[in-house]
Amino acid sequence: MAVTSVNSPSDIYYVPEQSKLPIFASMGLASSVIGLALILNGHSAGTMVLMCGFTVFAFVLWCWFQAVITENLAGLNNDQLKSSYVWGMGWFIFSEVMFFAAFFGTLFYVRNFAVPWLAGDGTHDNFTNSILWPGFEHTWPLMQTPDSAVNGDAAAMQGPDQNMGLSSAGSIWGWLPFWNTVVLLTSSITVHMAHTALKFGHRKPFYLWLGATVVLGVVFLILQAEEYIEAYHHMGLTLSSGIYGATFFMLTGFHGAHVFLGTFMLLVMFLRATLKNHFDANNCFGFEAASWYWHFVDVVWLCLFIFVYVLA
């Protein structure tokens, strides 16, 4: 299975055996994307295609990680391979930064350019507004779409009744995004405490802090689900309620998916640590990679909290 030996020098690189897993991973991801596209376009088969694709991809990840863990426990990972793991995780997080940068860029463009232009702001002759969208005014959050401004209540796409911003909250203590922020920032502290405990060889505090982080991740997901229920049923804020609804759910929805993934990663690390006694101060990259990802998720949420909620 391995090309190098247990005591291989660091200048000899580890070459894994040939594997068909990348092919199945590509098939699973492609099926997931196709299924999501079908769901968004109203096709009944979309859910089945999405679940099949997700199941295939999850199985591939399981096999892949199992192989990596087995190789590491066998002592096959030399210094050069461990360095490649660090760089790989770094580039993965960087790609995630660019992913969210695209959506934040969309929010910035829509809020500062597209919507004002439709309302005639910043134009010399006000042609766009007076000819195409008479009566549409620039506001954010966008509570009235251009279609509803022109066609009235008969428009197919209506704006929401309320928004999720701080200005619309009756009290900050009953405002779900505030508590989501408290929970996620607290989880960033607990995962750091878990890392510190592991570095000093304190196993029980490591288990305690890591378990607390997993619980806080689950609490965040529950609160976000409650927020979505409130948005859909009490505020009329949906994915179809104009550009504000679209940007809100795309940003918060993808972030929620990343929180789910991060919580699952930390849960796996917790089970490995408590059931298999994995990780020590000098051999804990799996946990460190999951904690890096979790800190990244926290930073993204802070940006969301500021630009989507507070400045709404």
Q: What is the mean pLDDT of the chain?
A: 86
Q: What share of the chain is helix, strand, coil (3-state, %, to 5)?
A: 70, 0, 25
With cut-offs at 50, 70 and 90, classify the pLDDT of residue 3: very low
| Helix, strand or coil, per DSSP, at residue 134 | coil
Structure pTM? 0.85
Nearest to 283, CA basis, from 73, 70, 36: 73
Secondary structure (DSSP) of 151-188 = HGGG-SSPPPSS--SGGG-S-GGG-HHHHHHHHHHHHH
Q: Check: CB of residue 266 under 8 Å from CB of residue 210.
A: yes
- Per-residue pLDDT at 210: 97
Q: What is the DSSP letter of 13?
A: P
Please determine, for residue 287, whether its predicted confidence score (pLDDT) is greater than 90: yes
- Per-residue pLDDT at 12: 64
Amino acid 79 reads: D
Which whole-number Å values give the CA distances from 252 to 97, 255, 277, in the listed order?
15, 5, 35
CATH classification of 1-77 is 1.10.1060.10, yes or no?
no
Most trustworthy range by pLDDT among 51-55, 62-66, 140-144: 51-55
HSE toward the beta carbon, residue 33, CA cutoff 13 A: 6
The CATH number of the structural domain formed by 79-310 is 1.20.120.80
Please determine, for residue 2, whether its predicted confidence score (pLDDT) is greater than 50: no
Mean pLDDT of the region 208-233: 94
User: What are the sequence ranges of the domains in the chain?
Assistant: 1-77, 79-310
Interval 119-175: pLDDT, tens: 877 665 567 777 777 878 888 888 877 877 777 655 455 666 677 777 777 778 888
